[in-house]
Amino acid sequence: MVKVHSWGRLGDFDHQMIPLSDRHLIAAQLRSGVAGLAFGMGRSYGDVCLNPGGVLWKTTALDRFIQFDETSGRLQCEAGLLLRDVQRLIVPRGWMLPVVPGTQLATLGGALANDVHGKNHHVAGSFGDHVIEIVLMRTDGSRSILHPGDARFAATIGGLGLTGVITELTLQLKRINSPWLHVETQPYQNLTTFFDLADAAEAQWEHTVSWIDCVAGNGRGIFMRANHSDAQQAVPKSSRQWRMPFVPPVSLVNAFTLQPFNQLYYQLKKKQATALQYYEDFFHPLDHLLEWNRMYGPRGFFQYQCVLPRAHGREGVQAMLKQISHAGEGSFLAVLKTFGERSSVGMLSFAQPGVTLALDFTNQGEKTHKLFASLDDIVRDARGRLYPAKDARMPRELFEAGYPRLQEFLSHRDPGISSAMSRRLMGS
Amino acid sequence: MGRQRIIIIGATSAIAEHCARVWAQQPSDFVLVGRDHYRLESVAADLRVRSPQSSAQAIVMDFSDPVAIAGLAMQTAVEGHVDIVLIAHGNLPVQADCQQDVTLTRQALEINGLSPVLFAEAFAGQMEKAGSGTLAIIGSVAGDRGRKTNYVYGAAKALIDRYAQGLQHRFAGKRVKIVLIKPGPTATPMTAHLPPRGLASANEVAHRIVEAVAAGQAVVYAPARWWLIMMIIRHLPRVVFNRLNI
């Protein structure tokens, strides 16, 4: 038994760790008799990647490339490869992953199982939109090859690892001329301006995202938009990576630091600016600080990420910011972003048209859960939903209300696979 | 440095595979030798994608057959100059099982000790004829002192240690370099049942091996801290050592 925690560090749980490293042996390894779950880098925040008391099939040694057609941009590889390692191979050859989340220290399989999105959702949709083929191993020993259009394909994209173990996938990559992005930042004073900026940017900018000051309460923030450039500059020397060396006895994100940090960040960034940024710095700034999740102290933290349909977007976000600021909680890096008008492939995919808000909260027990309950009410009223990849606590009825294709999904589950989240939200 | 021709025995082991990935950052010609066709082919395919200018040939063979081993060394020498041979195969037996069943003890000694020595001897002979080359063998910190928790494995690795020492003596002052690598516990499928804290990554160990091979270093601990740890463990008086539960 090995102790494992997820990115939120809410607890250490005993698991039996079985490494998958040879894709030809996996069928036998999955027939262990005990319910298991594929586990990659453990970068999801809550309990979607945990299976306390059970088996975790560790996928990070399934990290081989299988085939790469540099003419068409089709890449076939094993599912345990890190996004980072894929990027570092393909970017110098003029290709890029079409969708990347905030960290590139996640596996391809994890990105697929959570159907992650990036700053370019309005243009490119989510990760699953670029998957051409999936090899799925089930615990009954069967191996199936899934394609867009198959029901099981739609169940597996964003399927939280519950339909089988994803061992291989084929992606359609995106052509780039340069690894550099042309980035513009623009401050905004309130949510109305944010939505105006976001809507105006969508037609001309491939990437949009914003940082929002969750303490000020008025909805001010910094809007960022970027396009791929043609700049032919030397690749920067890989910038220094820092590591949060230990878990501080109390969370560094607390009542004393929240206000000054948010104030400082806003003041530093509020100048309208344009810059050329290397893709790793633009997409994954937090990867420079390894194990930053330790910052939240011994009790760990929650991330709360919701999407609200646009009809209720502005009022909903405003109401949530008010609740958060009223509770005196919140995070350094709150993110606000609009999603494009497109539906996702997966039955349980998170991204849908609307606006998404994501914030970290130090785990303060009862107090934090009370705040979440009030945020849940706003999400429920707005007919929004929460992101399973981030979640450790949403009520089952909110999950069921937010994911109307749940019943259809359940018929595709692999009975030999279970997670803490599936037991919490699906009953098994 | 020009294009290198690199032969890897046990090419599907995690450490060997990561070494190959580091070497493949420069176009190289690989001969990958292993016991399992499918695994070997997937490693070869991976290297071809990572480094389209490299070549990777896969050879499946019996690791306990001295005739096949000598044949491989001869054949690869005939095909061209060999710059590097990395002997990396092995497996971590469960000590308790070896104590119960001497058949397992024998297998563990053969695959971790005898077989690597046969490969090394065969390739060393070819390198001597060619007049140059670097032969790297993976031993283990476990070979530095016998411990109750894994002395069968440790004994096999100790054989490699003493053997490499002899080879180094034989080639002293020559252009054939013998590199003995002693990894500490490394996070590989072989050690998945151990708690992950304190395990080095296969990638980290591989980088150290590649550096050591380039420098022709005689003995390398990977990561380096194991040199100090094992120095202390080797020198502990028996009365103290025997009280330790390691």
Nearest to B45 among A22, A66, A89 (CB): A66
Query: B111: which 2 tokens?
Result: 């695959």
The letter for the amino acid at B88 is A
> Which class for B235: exposed (0-12), middle (13-18), buried (19 or more C-beta within 10 A)?
exposed
User: Does B246 reside within a domain?
Assistant: no
Which site among A5, A64, A95 would you substitute to test the B interface, given the most B Cβ atoms closer than 10 Å to its Cβ?
A: A64
**C-beta atoms of A17 and B49 within 8 A:** no
| pLDDT at residue A241, as a whole number | 83
The letter for the amino acid at A159 is G
Nearest to A65 among B36, B50, B188 (CB): B50
| pLDDT at residue B1, as a whole number | 62
How many Å apart are CA A337 and CA A65, to the nearest integer?
A: 33
Q: The domain containing residue B177 runs over which residues? A: 4-241
User: Does B183 reside within a domain?
Assistant: yes
The residues in A 7-66 lying below 8 A from B, measured between CB atoms, are 17-19, 21-24, 58, 61, 64-66
Q: What is the 3-state secondary structure (H, E, C) of B177-237?
A: EEEEEEECCEECHHHCCCCCCCCEEHHHHHHHHHHHHHHCCCEEEECCHHHHHHHHHHHCC
Q: Does B39 touch chain A (CB under 8 A)?
A: yes
Query: How many domains, chain B?
Result: 1
* Of the candidates A190, A286, A283, the residue with the CA atom closest to the CA atom of residue A241: A286
Which site among A13, A20, A22 would you substitute to test the B interface, given the most B Cβ atoms closer than 10 Å to its Cβ?
A: A22
User: Does B13 reside within a domain?
Assistant: yes
User: Does B184 reside within a domain?
Assistant: yes
User: Does B47 reside within a domain?
Assistant: yes
**C-beta atoms of A17 and B193 within 8 A:** yes
CA B53 to chain CA mean position, Å: 26
Q: Does B198 touch chain A (CB under 8 A)?
A: no
Distance (Å) from the C-alpha of residue B195 to the closest C-alpha of chain A? 6
| pLDDT at residue A326, as a whole number | 87
Q: What domains sit in chain A, N to C, each tagged with a CATH number?
A: 65-176 (3.30.465.10), 180-232+239-393 (3.40.462.10)
What ipTM goes with this model? 0.91
Residues of chain A with pLDDT under 50: none
User: Does B218 reside within a domain?
Assistant: yes
Query: Could you read off the pLDDT tens digit of each residue along chain B, which spans 246 residues?
Result: 689 999 999 999 999 999 999 999 999 999 999 999 999 999 999 999 999 999 999 999 999 999 999 999 999 999 999 999 999 999 999 999 999 999 999 999 999 999 999 999 999 999 999 999 999 999 999 999 999 999 999 999 999 999 999 999 999 999 999 999 999 989 887 777 676 677 889 999 999 999 999 999 999 999 999 999 999 999 999 999 999 888
Residue of B nearest to A22 (CA): B39
| pLDDT at residue A96, as a whole number | 98
**C-beta atoms of A64 and B195 within 8 A:** no
User: Does B232 reside within a domain?
Assistant: yes
Torsion angle of C-alpha atoms A348, A351, A357, A359, degrees rounded to 10: 50
**CATH number (domain holding residue B219):** 3.40.50.720
